[in-house]
């Protein structure tokens, strides 16, 4: 008699280095299953690539025949015909009309990095066409996200006949209806999720609209603006607009904008996005753009910029203007041609970013205390919803992100205004669609407004409905969160000894970059290395040093680890042997280079020798 399915033994995957429960409670797994390992071997044999690079490629699903294209992603090969995007042809024709007729065009952008880079890229192109566009970036606190009726009226009063919204507009039905009523044409270039109700506009270019089959839904708004301008260039070329006196603008020369907006918006670095960022990083390294160069200098970025610099050093400074300062500072910097003025604006953004960090830290500490009280000693609850009066609305997204990282579950942080209205942001974990739940909560009348995508969402609600929303989110997301958190795995790309951790290894691994969302940085394990140094540094970081059995050393840092499980494990195991997992980067300081391990996790080895794979 065959036993029931539930009684059959389930074969668990073999833990990498035998780590079934690490310091952070994760099981370590080889990123490659047997088929992936065979593919990695075939890549080594066909292309004569180093084994570790081949393992990284195979671990990201790169097929054998696609290796060369993956290692050199080009815009030319990956750029689709722009007209595959719904209503793109109409949008390009209307923007081309404005260029031919010398119309007054108004650009309405979002206040984040994607919005700033989108607005700057479009404005640069329109200026090249001989136009002088108006640019409006809404104030986060007084206007909120997306077009509003008052701002639309102001742009119409200044003579705008075409309104182009970038990184917003898909859900702005009332404001865009007002624009049409005032006689303006409206083109929306946006990538946010949307429902069935769409605004009445001349063209809505959004690859995430229900009737779009382009497959470009992964693009950030700035990438979509780039694709739109490819279509506009083609339209104007066919009309004979470009001449010797007015040559066609070099869109590829502006990929630094596209790279910055794409990385900062955490768009997946696959396909066309990956090509945008790879080529945009090359453009940034040329240091030929006044605004970007000023931003890199004020961020004290030494050495060639990498994708993570855009997300953690440059992006936050552009964002700081929209969060706690003047919302248009980022666009102004990206359009500035004067070196001294660009340096002044960049310095102001840097100052605002420092101020933002201080404001954020206070709110974060309060939110963390509230979250700990709500979860209790048993760590129960699928979703964290925190709220307080006195929090700055510009930092709630950052606070939500920190809560999500610390507690490994979706989190909302809401700033409550004196009038009883709360504006907040949510951040999600892999496998849990926050945007869908927020849109449903709006449809059910629980939220005043809200929207977003799977990993991030914005909400507005009345204070008295806070508890109701908390219960609603808990019920809606509990199952998905439980499933996602149950799969608490850390995938390892390979293992090496400290002796092999060299700048050459980092250069080799970077050939499969740029790394980011959907193309994760390689995670390398160091088996049974002695923790010879561990000490707190900076703001809750732990600086460490590990030694292999042959005496080779590798330096590392565990970011924001103090008070966390990882930080506790490092402090408690000084002098002990540990399996270590992390990502490699080159640390540049005062002209010298050395490899640094960004520590993600550690584990106490089982008895017996650890094998390097």
Cβ-contact 553, 547 below 8 angstroms: yes
- Give, rounded to a whole angstrom, the gap between the first and last alpha carbons of the chain: 42
Place of tokens 């624009």: 179
Q: What was the pLDDT predicted at 12?
A: 59
Cβ-contact 243, 283 below 8 angstroms: no
CA dist 70 and 270 (Å) reads: 10
What CATH number belongs to 78-350? 3.90.1640.30
Q: What was the pLDDT predicted at 590?
A: 64
Cβ-contact 334, 291 below 8 angstroms: yes
Asked if the model's pLDDT at residue 110 lies above 60, the reply is yes
Cβ-contact 182, 174 below 8 angstroms: no
The lowest-confidence range among 126-130, 376-380, 428-432 is 376-380
Query: For residue 219, what are its two tokens?
Result: 């693009």
CB atoms within 10 A of CB 352: 22
Asked if the model's pLDDT at residue 607 lies above 70, the reply is no
For range 510-526, the mean pLDDT: 95
Residues 6+ apart with CB under 8 A from 494: 51, 52, 55, 56, 522, 524, 525, 613
pLDDT digits (tens, 9 = 90+) for 75-100: 999 999 999 999 999 999 999 999 99
pLDDT digits (tens, 9 = 90+) for 138-197: 998 888 889 999 999 999 999 999 999 999 999 899 999 999 999 999 999 999 988 788
Confidence of residue 488 (pLDDT cuts 50, 70, 90): confident
Asked if the model's pLDDT at residue 1 lies above 70, the reply is no
Asked if the peptide bond before residue 398 counts as cis, ω within 30 degrees of 0, the response is no
For the chain, percent of residues with pLDDT exceeding 90: 82
Phi (first) and psi of residue 549, to 5 degrees:
-60, -25
For range 40-54, the mean pLDDT: 97
| Helix extents (H) in 255-326 | 255-264, 271-286, 290-298, 307-309, 315-324
Residues 6+ apart with CB under 8 A from 221: 110, 114, 115, 118, 166, 167, 189, 190, 191, 261, 265
Cβ-contact 43, 32 below 8 angstroms: no
Confidence of residue 452 (pLDDT cuts 50, 70, 90): confident
Return the bridge partners of 492, or none: 30
The lowest-confidence range among 10-19, 66-75, 265-274 is 10-19
CA dist 34 and 27 (Å) reads: 18
pLDDT digits (tens, 9 = 90+) for 297-339: 999 998 899 999 999 999 999 999 988 878 999 999 999 999 9
Characterize the bridge pairing of strands 494-495 and 524-537: parallel
Q: What was the pLDDT predicted at 377?
A: 76
Cβ-contact 233, 251 below 8 angstroms: yes
The torsion defined by the Cα of 544, 545, 546 and 550, in degrees rounded to 10, comes to 180
Domain boundaries, the chain: 16-31+493-603, 33-71, 78-350, 376-488
Query: For residue 242, what are its two tokens?
Result: 């470009």
For range 401-426, the mean pLDDT: 92
* Mean of pLDDT over the chain: 93
Domain over 16-31+493-603 is classified CATH 3.50.50.100? no
Residues 6+ apart with CB under 8 A from 362: none
Task: State pTM to two decimals.
Answer: 0.91
Domain over 376-488 is classified CATH 3.10.310.30? yes
Beta strands in 502-576 (DSSP E): 524-537, 541-547, 553-558
CA dist 128 and 148 (Å) reads: 28
Asked if the model's pLDDT at residue 484 lies above 90, the reply is no
Residues 6+ apart with CB under 8 A from 275: 73, 74, 75, 77, 78
CA dist 80 and 86 (Å) reads: 13
CB atoms within 10 A of CB 72: 11
Asked if the model's pLDDT at residue 137 lies above 90, the reply is yes
- Going by C-alpha positions, the residue among 384, 454, 482 that lies closest to residue 424 is 384
């Amino acid at each position: 008699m065959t036993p029931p399915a539930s009684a059959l033994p389930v074969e668990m995957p073999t833990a990498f280095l035998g780590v079934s429960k690490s310091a952070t409670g994760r099981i370590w797994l080889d990123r490659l299953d047997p088929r992936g390992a065979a593919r990695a071997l075939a890549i080594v044999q066909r292309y004569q690539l180093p084994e570790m690079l081949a393992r990284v490629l195979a671990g990201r699903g790169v097929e054998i025949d696609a290796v060369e294209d993956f290692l050199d992603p080009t815009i030319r090969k990956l750029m689709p015909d722009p007209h595959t995007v719904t209503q793109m042809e109409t949008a390009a024709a209307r923007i081309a009309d404005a260029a031919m007729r010398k119309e007054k065009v108004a650009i309405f952008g979002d206040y984040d990095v994607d919005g700033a880079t989108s607005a700057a890229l479009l404005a640069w192109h329109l200026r090249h066409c001989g136009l002088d566009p108006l640019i409006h970036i809404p104030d986060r606190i007084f206007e909120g996200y997306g077009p509003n009726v008052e701002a639309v009226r102001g742009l119409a009063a200044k003579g705008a006949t075409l309104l182009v919204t970038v990184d917003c507009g898909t859900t702005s039905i009332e404001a865009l209806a007002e624009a049409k009523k005032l006689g303006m044409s409206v083109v929306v270039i946006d990538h946010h999720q949307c429902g069935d109700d769409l605004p009445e506009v001349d063209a809505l270019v959004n690859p995430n609209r229900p009737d779009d089959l382009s497959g470009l839904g992964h693009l950030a708004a700035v990438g979509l603006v780039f694709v739109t301008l490819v279509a506009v260039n083609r339209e104007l070329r066919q009309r004979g607009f470009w001449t010797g006196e007015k040559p066609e603008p070099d869109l590829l020369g502006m990929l630094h904008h596209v790279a910055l907006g794409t990385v900062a918006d955490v768009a997946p670095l696959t396909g066309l996005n990956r090509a945008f960022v790879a080529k945009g990083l090359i453009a940034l390294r040329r240091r030929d753009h006044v605004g970007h160069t000023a931003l890199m200098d004020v961020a004290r970025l030494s050495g060639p910029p990498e994708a993570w610099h855009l997300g953690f050093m440059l992006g936050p400074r552009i964002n700081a203007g929209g969060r706690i300062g003047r919302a248009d500072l980022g666009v102004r910097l990206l359009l500035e041609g004067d070196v001294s003025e660009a340096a002044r604006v960049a310095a102001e953004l840097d100052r605002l970013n420092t101020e933002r960090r201080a404001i954020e830290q206070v709110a974060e500490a309060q939110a963390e205390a509230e979250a700990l009280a709500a979860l209790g000693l048993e760590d129960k609850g699928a979703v964290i919803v925190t709220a307080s009066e006195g929090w700055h609305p510009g930092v709630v997204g950052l606070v939500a992100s920190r809560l999500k990282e610390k507690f490994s579950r979706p989190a909302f942080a809401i700033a409550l205004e004196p009038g009883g209205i709360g504006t907040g942001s949510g951040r999600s974990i892999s496998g849990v669609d926050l945007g869908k739940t927020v849109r449903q909560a709006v449809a059910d009348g629980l939220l005043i407004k809200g929207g977003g995508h799977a990993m991030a969402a914005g909400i507005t609600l009345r204070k008295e409905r806070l508890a109701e929303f908390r219960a609603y989110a808990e019920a809606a997301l509990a199952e998905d969160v439980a499933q996602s958190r149950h799969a608490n795995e850390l995938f390892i790309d390979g293992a090496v000894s400290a002796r092999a951790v060299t700048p050459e290894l980092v250069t080799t691994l970077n050939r499969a970059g740029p790394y980011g969302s959907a193309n994760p940085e390689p995670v390398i394990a160091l088996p049974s290395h002695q923790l010879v140094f561990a000490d707190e540094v900076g703001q809750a970081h732990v600086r460490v040093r590990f030694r292999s059995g042959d005496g080779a050393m590798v330096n590392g840092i565990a970011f924001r680890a103090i008070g966390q499980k990882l930080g506790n494990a490092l402090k408690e195991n000084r002098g002990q042997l540990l399996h270590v997992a992390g990502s490699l980067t080159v640390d540049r300081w005062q002209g010298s280079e050395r490899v640094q391990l960004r520590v993600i996790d550690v584990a106490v080895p089982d008895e017996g020798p650890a094998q390097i794979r």
